[in-house]
Structure 1
Amino acid sequence: MGKIQKLPESLIHLIAAGEVIERPASVLKELVENSLDAGATQIAIDIWGAGRSRIRVSDNGVGMSKEDARLALERHATSKLRSFEDLQTLASFGFRGEALPSIAAVSHLELTTREPQAKQGLRLKVAGGKIISTTAVGVPPGTTLDVQDLFFNTPARAKFMKRDATERSHILRTVQELALAHPRVSFEISVDGKAAMHLTQAADLRTRIRDLWDVSITDTLVPLEFSQGPASVHGFINKIPAHQPTKSYQHLFVNDRPVHQRVLTHAIYEAYHEWLPVGRHPVFMLFLKVDPSVVDVNVHPAKREVRFANDLMLYDLLFHHIRKDLQAGQDVPVMKHKAPSPRAGEGWDGGYQQPLMPPPASVLPHPEGGRSVSVVADAPPAIKKLDATVRILGQYRKVYVLAEQGDDLLLIDQHAAAERVLYEKLLDQSRTEGAKRQPLLTPYVWDLPPDRLEIVRDAQPALEKLGFVLDAFGGNSLVLKECPAVFPQLKQAKRFLDVFIESLEAESYDPQENAAHEAVARAACRAAIKANDALAGPEMQHLLKELAACQRPMTCPHGRPTHIRLPLSELHHRFRRS
């Protein structure tokens, strides 16, 4: 027998499923897109166990006949393609005939359907891709797909699933995208038996956006609409001052299909770059319509990536039209800097500083009666105790603190040092009961999209250990009532919160495991004193005192040195003094 053998059909199905079905949100996307292709105007979604246990999608679409229902479970059986020419003018969401068979191959699936003209419906039960029963049932017109025990026969894939909160967040993000693309379709979503989202049929995109997001976001949006050559664009972008700390409010669609398209996203960022501070992100919900013949949606089975015949032309169109609209409505001065390429997790950088309750003495700069700090840079020795031999010389380029001890010159990176101090204080608080908190004079209302709210709720116990007190405030909002005493300003606390949650979201850290050290480290980096922050003498004195008290003062949490020492003998050697 030869070494090369044909794979069995069951294994082929499992391999195909690995490409199409990455996580529960992938299943939901495929099922809802099938409903939309069937002309549904009402879609009900029920999720149990973050989609691992069960995903059920019901619609009022055209339903299927007995023959079509059986064929829908076979690979490469589709109603949307007949020839190669059809692929060039494709307008439907599904077309490969792979999604439903792939889902059926890795789950226990139940398909119930009825055409409007049929007297009875049909129910098919499938396990591991094989139909095990067919039953006539009395059901309303439409289709219900019930997917249970996802990845029951592919344990390796199941192991790569993230925490329940992360998977639920991806599911809610997927629903948002589909709901934005189809405002005239109603969506009813429940999670573990509790209503999670109710979206009635909306007259237009603006109404749907208002249904999904808080007024603090929707009132800062302006419409964008243009048509030129083979392309047209409509949707909304943010007013210049209304940039956000995260990318949560960014949605891009090509022919109503939610996509990730780097070229177009880069065009949007470049259009904003003169008004976009470092670490901030634009808000956009944009729909690009192009002739299907100039866009390739067949790049990947998941259909999240698309390619254009002339992406540079589309880049220029989007860039110039957005920039023109922003300049026409400009009501704030142009920033002095150019924003770098977008980078996730830069944090809140609001232009105001709301005072908290007066910080306790322990977090205010306070010189110790002329005493100063001894800093040693050569590992392994730790920073010495405070004594009277170190003298602050000043701040260099608003980046480094200069000091002297005896015959040695000390250079301290103010950001790295502050980052180490903040990181250790927060972790110490998370390990002990009764974290030092301070109440806000005016509680801060934190508006979040549904997918991000899921992550925050899951992280609330960890946040409370760190000193953040958050309560529900209705809809998709939380209210921040107290924050850790280590933050002298609300701006810093908000920046930390945002980056901490974004770190959990992006990396799927477990927020209950030692308060997710890496997430705390990233957030401390964003919330700490920055380069270009001017420091007064007492502030520099206090920073060095706090650094001296750290357990690991030699480096920041990411491994950069906090300070270096230059002995006088080394300086003499450099200058060739005897």
Structure 2
Amino acid sequence: IRILTEEVATQIAAGEVIERPSSVVRELVDNSIDAGADRIRVRIEGGGKSLIRVSDNGIGMSRDDLLLSIERHATSKILSVEDLFAISSLGFRGEALPSIASVSRMRITSKVAEAVAGHTLKISGGKLEDIEETGAPEGTTVEVRDLFYNVPARKKFLKGERTEADKIIDTFSRLALAFENIYFQLENEQKLLINLPSSEQLIPRLAILFGRSVAEGMVQETFNKSGLSMTVYAAPAEFSRSRADRIYVYVNRRNVKDRLINRAIMDGYGQRLMKGAYPQVVLFIETEPSQVDVNVHPAKQEVRFRQPGLLFQSIMRLVDSALGRRIHIYPGSSTWDREGEVQEPVEVRWEPSSPATKPVSFPLTTDSVQVPLFDDQITVIGQLNRTYILCQDRNGLMIVDQHAAHERVLYEKLMEQVKKSGLEVQNLLVPKRIDLSVSEKRTLEKRGEVLSELGIDVEDFGGEAVLLRAVPSMLENADWDQLLVELIGALKEGPVDKGSILEHVITIMACHGAVRAGHTMSMAEMTALLAQLNRLRLPTNCPHGRPITRTITYYELERMFKRVV
């Protein structure tokens, strides 16, 4: 057994704290926030591998403090063991700066308000090179170059510059969302990517980071009881995504990742979400520091609560309550319909076309229509709860999920067109402006050619806005504000090979284009849908795997009514 050298021990510690460039950004911005800054500017180059510069107008550091800041376990935020259980700052271990300094070339310039001049400290690979007096504004600027230059084994595991930049954007966005009173700016390759002026309200920042359509749809609910305060901003289930990357959770303004909390949020949405779908939610939890342990993991993104069961139930009820109220929080927006009522659905093209002009009643025997389905004759009886088509066949009562059925029909039609000659395209008479988030715009620029192949013509309109000029004719009337964002999300973290990407994107398009639950259908529309379904290769499941039909046999019905034993 040997005692490790200081250099090796420091690099091991750095490996726990600094995983990638986004870790550096998180630690440095945390320090700026703790320093009381109300303006923080971040600049990156080469995905953060070449340069990360974080500047703030906080309280700054004196020459002596500057020298202490690069020593391990030197901090101004705690003094005793008891302080570990009453942490109110984001940082507290005194490990960030020495860890970063040990795996990079770092320069820190800082000045306190009462000082005539500031000081610049230079350190490379953990070794102090120089400290000198310099002119500087009040605050601190930390410049990190050549991250992991002296740890090639760690450097080779980093992703490409664009991927690392995307990680930084995500980390930066999560930090900025919790401190709307601070002016945040992020530059990438000398281009201003995110500009977030300070504000008394969170909503403008939500619109920039989540997209305007999502922010306009979010509902707000608060909870205050027994020393626990929570505020949730929850987007309706219509804005759900295929990934959980838009679930933002903060505990005492610290962004955390907690499976228990995520599970509580998902349970709060309950059956509003389809299987495999995740909501867009921002949850702020405020509690006494003594009730939560943040000293669990070096990255400080995991926490433990003294009463996790109580917290779980409170979050679940809070989310459920918010979605039950369905009231917009965005200025100037209209009031949502109450739960149970459905907004007017988008028009859906049918073959043959026979739209209902008014809700219809469905008699049990008259006006029934015979259609061949699954090699059997069925009778269309009517529609249940504007969601299910009721039919009878020789086996009993067959219930058809109208959305799942139409989704399967659209999916196979779209796939067939793509394989044959490409989708039929409809140019929009008036191009549609759609506002995206910064990361969504970058993904579109990187992988947008897949959408072009599907007949979706999108062009840059400045900032984070784009113009939608053409769409597949089969989906002309879909909600493209939401659909385009969902498609971009699929491109961002979807399959790698082109064929799988196309299939994934078409699945999403079919889902958005299909008739929704809550849409009143005429007998002719139901008949046409079932006839089209019957001609498909796989009429039993939607593209997501959900069943399209369920049958209650005559025998089961007779047992329900005690006609048989």
Give the match for residue 225 of structure 1: 222
Pairing of 1:452-467 with structure 2 (within 5 A): 452-467=440-455
Farther-moved stretch of structure 1 (292-301 vs 228-237): 228-237
Cα distance between partner residues in 1 of 2:377 and 2:490:
32
Pairing of 1:396-475 with structure 2 (within 5 A): 426=418, 437-441=425-429, 443-475=431-463
Aligned counterpart for 1:299 among listed residues 288, 296, 305: 296
Contact 2:450–2:502, Cα closer than 8 Å, also in 1: no
Is the aligned partner of 1:522 residue 2:509?
no
Give the match for residue 400 of structure 2: none
Aligned counterpart for 2:199 among listed residues 202, 224, 233: 202
Give the match for residue 185 of structure 1: 182
What amino acid sits opposite 2:505 in the alignment? Answer: A
Contact 2:436–2:485, Cα closer than 8 Å, also in 1: no
Offset of residue 85 of structure 1:
0.2
Residue 37 of structure 2 aligns to a residue whose secondary structure is coil
Q: Deviations over 1:543-578 (max 9, x none)?
A: 55xx9xxxxxxxx9999xxxxxxxxxxxxxxxxxxx
What amino acid sits opposite 2:65 in the alignment? Answer: D
Offset of residue 127 of structure 1:
1.6
Cα distance between partner residues in 2 of 1:428 and 1:155:
49
Contact 1:446–1:477, Cα closer than 8 Å, also in 2: yes
Tell me, which stretches of 5 or more residues in structure 2 are unaligned?
328-335, 353-372, 379-387, 390-404, 518-525, 546-565
Aligned counterpart for 2:320 among listed residues 316, 320, 323: 323
Tell me, which stretches of 5 or more residues in structure 1 are unaligned?
337-349, 366-390, 399-412, 548-555, 560-578
Offset of residue 284 of structure 1:
2.7
Cα distance between partner residues in 2 of 1:490 and 1:225:
36
Cα distance between partner residues in 1 of 2:211 and 2:143:
32
Residue 93 of structure 1 aligns to a residue whose secondary structure is coil
What amino acid sits opposite 2:488 in the alignment? Answer: I
Contact 1:123–1:134, Cα closer than 8 Å, also in 2: yes
Contact 1:495–1:526, Cα closer than 8 Å, also in 2: no
CA distance 1:135–1:243, shift in 2 (3 Å)? same
Cα distance between partner residues in 1 of 2:544 and 2:239:
28
Is the aligned partner of 1:501 residue 2:488?
yes
Cα distance between partner residues in 1 of 2:254 and 2:139:
23
Contact 1:496–1:524, Cα closer than 8 Å, also in 2: no
Contact 1:14–1:102, Cα closer than 8 Å, also in 2: yes
Q: Deviations over 1:255-304 (max 9, x none)?
A: 00011122222222222325445565444322111111121111211111
Farther-moved stretch of structure 1 (160-169 vs 27-36): 160-169
What amino acid sits opposite 1:448 in the alignment? Answer: L
Offset of residue 329 of structure 1:
5.1
Contact 1:394–1:537, Cα closer than 8 Å, also in 2: no
Aligned counterpart for 1:313 among listed residues 307, 310, 313: 310
Cα distance between partner residues in 2 of 1:414 and 1:224:
35
Residue 448 of structure 2 aligns to a residue whose secondary structure is helix
The number of residue pairs the alignment matches comes to 484
Cα distance between partner residues in 2 of 1:395 and 1:448:
49
Aligned counterpart for 1:27 among listed residues 15, 24, 37: 24
Aligned residues: percent identity? 35
Backbone CA RMSD of aligned residues: 4.1
Contact 1:495–1:527, Cα closer than 8 Å, also in 2: no
Cα distance between partner residues in 2 of 1:166 and 1:428:
35
Aligned counterpart for 1:145 among listed residues 133, 142, 150: 142
Q: Deviations over 1:69-120 (max 9, x none)?
A: 1222122221112111010001111111222222122221111111111222
Aligned counterpart for 2:241 among listed residues 245, 248, 271: 245
Contact 1:125–1:132, Cα closer than 8 Å, also in 2: yes
Is the aligned partner of 1:16 residue 2:13?
yes
Is the aligned partner of 1:78 residue 2:75?
yes
Contact 2:487–2:508, Cα closer than 8 Å, also in 1: no
Residue 92 of structure 1 aligns to a residue whose secondary structure is coil
Offset of residue 199 of structure 1:
1.6
Offset of residue 188 of structure 1:
1.9
CA distance 1:225–1:90, shift in 2 (3 Å)? same
Offset of residue 334 of structure 1:
5.5
What amino acid sits opposite 1:61 in the alignment? Answer: G
Cα distance between partner residues in 2 of 1:210 and 1:463:
24
Offset of residue 437 of structure 1:
3.9
CA distance 1:304–1:206, shift in 2 (3 Å)? same
Offset of residue 453 of structure 1:
2.6
Contact 1:106–1:152, Cα closer than 8 Å, also in 2: yes
Contact 1:46–1:189, Cα closer than 8 Å, also in 2: yes
CA distance 1:558–1:329, shift in 2 (3 Å)? closer
Contact 1:47–1:191, Cα closer than 8 Å, also in 2: yes
Give me the TM-score of the superposition, normalised by structure 1.
0.72
Offset of residue 422 of structure 1:
5.2
Cα distance between partner residues in 2 of 1:79 and 1:496:
49
What amino acid sits opposite 2:501 in the alignment? Answer: A
Contact 1:245–1:498, Cα closer than 8 Å, also in 2: no
Farther-moved stretch of structure 1 (476-485 vs 522-531): 522-531
Residue 219 of structure 1 aligns to a residue whose secondary structure is helix
Offset of residue 418 of structure 1:
7.9
Contact 1:169–1:452, Cα closer than 8 Å, also in 2: no
Cα distance between partner residues in 1 of 2:155 and 2:417:
37
Give the match for residue 520 of structure 2: none
Farther-moved stretch of structure 1 (126-135 vs 327-336): 327-336
Give the match for residue 284 of structure 2: 287
Offset of residue 218 of structure 1:
2.9
Contact 2:73–2:94, Cα closer than 8 Å, also in 1: yes
What amino acid sits opposite 1:321 in the alignment? Answer: L
Residue 233 of structure 2 aligns to a residue whose secondary structure is strand
What amino acid sits opposite 1:483 in the alignment? Answer: V
Offset of residue 40 of structure 1:
0.7
Contact 2:414–2:423, Cα closer than 8 Å, also in 1: no
Offset of residue 14 of structure 1:
2.1
